[in-house]
Amino acid sequence: MTRPMRPVRLGEAGMILDKRQDGTIYARSPVPLGPYPERLTERLAHWANLAPDRTFLAERVRDGDWRRITYGEALAFVRRIGTALLARDLSPERPIAILSDNGIDHALLGLAAMHVGIPYAPISAAYSLMSSDFGKLRQIMQTLTPGLVFAADGRRFGAAIAAAIPPDAEILVTEGGPQRRATSFAELAATPATRAVDTAHRRTTPDTIAKFLFTSGSTGAPKGVINTQRMLCANQEMIAAHLAFLREEPPVLVDWLPWNHTFGGNHNVGLTVYNGGSLYIDEGKPMPGAIERTVRNLREIAPTVYFNVPRGFEALVPYFRKERPLRELFFSRLKLMFYAGAGLSQHVWDDLEELALETCGERIAMITGLGSTETAPSALFTTLDASQSGAVGVPLPGVDVKLAPVGDKLEGRVRGPSITPGYWREEAITRKAFDEEGYYCFGDALCFLDEHDEMKGFRFDGRLSENFKLATGTWVSVGPLRQAFLSAFAPYAKDVVIAGHDRDEVCALVFPDIEACRALCAELAPSDPAEAVLRRETTRTKLAELLGEFARGAKGSSTRVVRLILLEEPPSIDANEITDKGSINQRAVLSRRAALVEALYVAPRPASVIAASHALSEGPHA
pLDDT, tens digit, 9 for 90 and up, residues 67-93: 999 999 999 999 999 999 999 999 999
Q: What pLDDT band is residue 145 in, cutting at 50, 70 and 90? A: very high
Q: Quick one: average pLDDT of 557-572?
A: 94
Give the whole-angstrom CA distance, residue 453 versus residue 110.
44
Encoded amino acid at 531, one letter: E
Give the CA dihedral 163, 165, 171, 177, nearest 10 degrees: -10
Which of 183, 204, 225 marks a domain boundary?
Answer: 204
Q: Is residue 277 part of a domain?
A: no
Q: What is the mean pLDDT of the chain?
A: 94
Q: Is residue 536 part of a domain?
A: yes
Q: Is residue 244 part of a domain?
A: no
Query: Residue 431: how many CB atoms within 10 A of its CB?
Result: 10
- Give pairs for 294-297: CB < 8 Å, separation 24+: 294/254, 294/256, 295/319, 295/323, 295/326, 297/60, 297/254
Q: Is residue 255 part of a domain?
A: no
Q: Is residue 118 part of a domain?
A: yes
Query: The domain spanning residue 116 has which CATH number?
Result: 3.40.50.980
| pLDDT tens column, 7-39 | 999 999 999 999 999 999 999 999 999 999 999
Strands (E), 389-522: 391-395, 400-406, 409-415, 440-448, 458-463, 468-469, 475-476, 493-499, 506-512
Question: Does pLDDT of 550 surpass 70?
Answer: yes
Return the pLDDT at 576. Answer: 83
Return the pLDDT at 346. Answer: 83
Question: Does pLDDT of 165 surpass 80?
Answer: yes
Q: What pLDDT band is residue 425 in, cutting at 50, 70 and 90? A: very high
Q: Is residue 245 part of a domain?
A: no
Return the pLDDT at 180. Answer: 86
Give the whole-angstrom CA distance, residue 41 versus residue 76.
12
Cβ atoms of 337 and 365 closer than 8 Å: yes
Q: What pLDDT band is residue 581 in, cutting at 50, 70 and 90? A: low
Residue closest to 374 by CA, chosen among 240, 272, 196, 227: 227
Q: What pLDDT band is residue 98 in, cutting at 50, 70 and 90? A: very high
Return the pLDDT at 220. Answer: 58
Hey, is 63 helix, strand or coil? coil
Of the segments 103-112, 308-317, 459-468, which one has the largest average pLDDT value?
103-112
Question: Does pLDDT of 174 surpass 70?
Answer: yes
Which of 178, 204, 230 marks a domain boundary?
Answer: 204
Give the whole-angstrom CA distance, residue 230 versus residue 238.
12
Residue closest to 76 by CA, chosen among 49, 98, 106: 49
Which of 146, 178, 204 marks a domain boundary?
Answer: 204
Strands (E), 217-300: 222-228, 252-255, 278-281
Return the pLDDT at 389. Answer: 81
Could you tell me the residue range of the domain that residue 147 belongs to? 69-204
> Considering Cα of 300, then 305, then 307, then 311, what sign does the dihedral take?
positive
Q: Is residue 80 part of a domain?
A: yes
Q: Is residue 16 part of a domain?
A: no
User: What pTM was computed for the model?
Assistant: 0.87
Return the pLDDT at 449. Answer: 96
**Backbone dihedral angles phi then psi of residue 439, each to the nearest 5 degrees:** -85, 135
Among 1-10, 50-59, 214-223, whose mean pLDDT is lowest? 214-223
Give the whole-angstrom CA distance, residue 341 versus residue 164.
29
Q: How many domains does the chain have?
A: 2
Q: What pLDDT band is residue 320 in, cutting at 50, 70 and 90? A: very high
Return the pLDDT at 620. Answer: 39
Say how many residues make up the chain: 622
| pLDDT tens column, 344-369 | 888 899 999 999 999 999 999 999 99
Give the whole-angstrom CA distance, residue 60 versus residue 67.
6
Q: What pLDDT band is residue 614 in, cutting at 50, 70 and 90? A: low
Query: The domain spanning residue 492 has which CATH number?
Result: 3.30.300.30
Share of the chain above pLDDT 90, in %: 84
Give the whole-angstrom CA distance, residue 44 versus residue 193.
17
Cβ atoms of 121 and 146 closer than 8 Å: yes
Cβ atoms of 150 and 121 closer than 8 Å: no
Give the whole-angstrom CA distance, residue 403 versus residue 411.
5
Return the pLDDT at 583. Answer: 80
Return the pLDDT at 1. Answer: 55
Report in angstroms the alpha-carbon separations of 434 from 313, 372, 394, 415, 440.
Answer: 34, 14, 21, 9, 4
